[in-house]
A and B are shown apart, each in its own frame.
Chain A
């Protein structure tokens, strides 16, 4: 792990520049308790052709938890996020977000029946995602990217949307770049626009899918700083797929280690990252930290 990373961590710990609104979060216990899970997966499996990506995953996430998902590539971390936001449908199992099923409804007799895309669309509003490759709309300015969901999902007026979008972009430090297109911004700036865009709908759950993997090394910290500020200043539930182990140790209160489509270790960072039980976790951490 880089020293730059540690520097950014201390800078954030001093509390400077933390102007992201909402309440400071209190630390949460690392195990979600029963009924109040905001993300609940049960027996979720997903295969692509012959390849089984996820194998009967059970996962319950308590509100306000900050979960880091680590593990080798191809172990199913990203697939979990894509399932959680309903971009893909599981082959088996059920997924509930904030108490509502993504792909099922209760039939007359109380049994679960398949529901269509419309159900998923409704549930998706409560959950946001930031992608590895930003996926900004290239033909729109930074402002228009953030305005898009405000106008077309929330149905706000143009003026109100602009005000909110400017506010969000200011929070991620891009006040001076409102009218630039993605191609005119650095990777780090683009990713911050993408974060602002995802925050626009005030989701209860935010998913971060390797948000720094596509960035040049010198741009990683500006993005991690924004995610850190968000973690400190809001009470959103966060699931983060990351290879930044120090970052995970700093802001996660629970770490999931994936291997071969299963969660092989689940606990607080102090345990999973510093004193892992599984040999597989130890060898993975050694490989990542020696990068």
Chain B
């Protein structure tokens, strides 16, 4: 057994731990995405109130979140917030960090989607006298969704890869499992390669699937 070459039986032995980490990675992605979608919607709605001070605050928040690295935000949430008495598990902290970080860009995506609906659609809906709730639910949002959904899909894939940053705040997701095995066994090649391969396969297949959905949608 040399430390550089590939050992299949060792590689196989790392799989259970890696898959346990993979479960956490997927869970963090799903929960983080759900939080980002909901928070992003809230930000978009707050912006659309056209309430000047509110818009200013929301814009400042979005700029700040987008203008600082996710890793720094995770460190702040993990190391600084507990000193102010806010403390939860590393996993919840990680999900909140991902959700907040992605909510900023999600809100931009929503806004672009809504603004991308042709002005003639508003005019048709208003001149028909549709109630404002119906204008949103029946006319504007379904059309905004067509442009928003593919972008959100790509965002989920990006977040799936970014969950690896949670390893820095002790969340035992897939990358943390891989480095953990490496540091115990003094062999990094197999676990890191397998982890990398899993990240790649999942994001590649998802991106392909998403593209197919998109094409299907256009043809529909």
CB neighbours of A131 from chain B (8 A): 120, 123-124
Closest B residue to A120 using CB positions: B126
Closest A residue to B128 using CB positions: A149
B217 CB to closest chain A CB (Å) equals 10
B129 within 8 A of A: yes
B155 within 8 A of A: no
A136 vs B129: C-alpha distance in the bound complex, in angstroms? Answer: 15
Closest B residue to A139 using CB positions: B142
A153 vs B121: C-alpha distance in the bound complex, in angstroms? Answer: 16
A158 vs B88: C-alpha distance in the bound complex, in angstroms? Answer: 51
Q: How many residues of A contact B (CB 8 A)?
A: 21
CB neighbours of B121 from chain A (8 A): 135, 137
A121 vs B129: C-alpha distance in the bound complex, in angstroms? Answer: 6
User: Are A197 and B128 closer than 8 Å at their CB atoms?
Assistant: yes
A148 vs B134: C-alpha distance in the bound complex, in angstroms? Answer: 10
A107 CB to closest chain B CB (Å) equals 26
Which chain A residues in 133-189 approach chain B with CB under 8 Å? 133, 135-139, 148-149, 152-153
If A137-B139, A139-B143 touch, does A148 touch B127 (CB 8 Å cutoff)? no
User: Are B139 and A128 closer than 8 Å at their CB atoms?
Assistant: no
A40 CB to closest chain B CB (Å) equals 19
Closest A residue to B118 using CB positions: A135
CB neighbours of B139 from chain A (8 A): 137
User: Are A85 and B129 closer than 8 Å at their CB atoms?
Assistant: no
CB neighbours of B123 from chain A (8 A): 87, 131, 135
A91 vs B121: C-alpha distance in the bound complex, in angstroms? Answer: 24
A152 vs B143: C-alpha distance in the bound complex, in angstroms? Answer: 18
A129 within 8 A of B: yes
A233 within 8 A of B: no
Question: Out of A133, A135, A139, A148, which one reaches B130, CB within 8 Å?
Answer: A148
Question: Out of B124, B126, B131, which one reaches A152, CB within 8 Å?
Answer: B131
Closest A residue to B120 using CB positions: A135
Most chain A CB within a 10 A radius of its CB, from B128, B134, B142, B146: B128
Question: Out of A87, A125, A137, A139, which one reaches B129, CB within 8 Å?
Answer: A125
If A135-B120, A138-B143, A139-B142 touch, does A129 touch B127 (CB 8 Å cutoff)? yes
Closest A residue to B218 using CB positions: A183
Q: Could you mark each residue 153-167 of chain B with 1 if its beta carbon is under 8 Å from any beta carbon of chain A, else 0?
A: 000000000000000
B138 within 8 A of A: yes
User: Are B143 and A124 closer than 8 Å at their CB atoms?
Assistant: no
User: Are B130 and A152 closer than 8 Å at their CB atoms?
Assistant: yes
A100 CB to closest chain B CB (Å) equals 14
A128 vs B118: C-alpha distance in the bound complex, in angstroms? Answer: 20
CB neighbours of B124 from chain A (8 A): 131, 135-137
Most chain A CB within a 10 A radius of its CB, from B127, B134, B138, B142: B127
CB neighbours of B142 from chain A (8 A): 139
Most chain B CB within a 10 A radius of its CB, from A128, A136, A148: A148
Which chain B residues in 106-146 approach chain A with CB under 8 Å? 118, 120-121, 123-131, 134, 138-139, 142-143, 146
A139 vs B139: C-alpha distance in the bound complex, in angstroms? Answer: 8
Which chain A residues in 107-131 approach chain B with CB under 8 Å? 121, 124-125, 128-129, 131
User: Are A153 and B120 closer than 8 Å at their CB atoms?
Assistant: no
A148 vs B120: C-alpha distance in the bound complex, in angstroms? Answer: 16
A102 vs B143: C-alpha distance in the bound complex, in angstroms? Answer: 30
User: Are B127 and A153 closer than 8 Å at their CB atoms?
Assistant: no
Given contacts A124-B129, A131-B123, 11 further A-B contacts (CB under 8 A): A85-B127, A87-B127, A124-B126, A133-B120, A135-B121, A136-B124, A139-B146, A149-B128, A152-B131, A153-B129, A153-B131
Using a CB–CB cutoff of 8 Å, the interface residues on chain A facing chain B are 85, 87, 121, 124-125, 128-129, 131, 133, 135-139, 148-149, 152-153, 197-198, 201
Q: Could you list 14 examples of A-B contacts with CB < 8 Å?
A: A124-B126, A125-B129, A133-B120, A135-B120, A135-B124, A137-B124, A137-B143, A148-B128, A148-B130, A149-B129, A152-B130, A153-B130, A198-B128, A201-B128
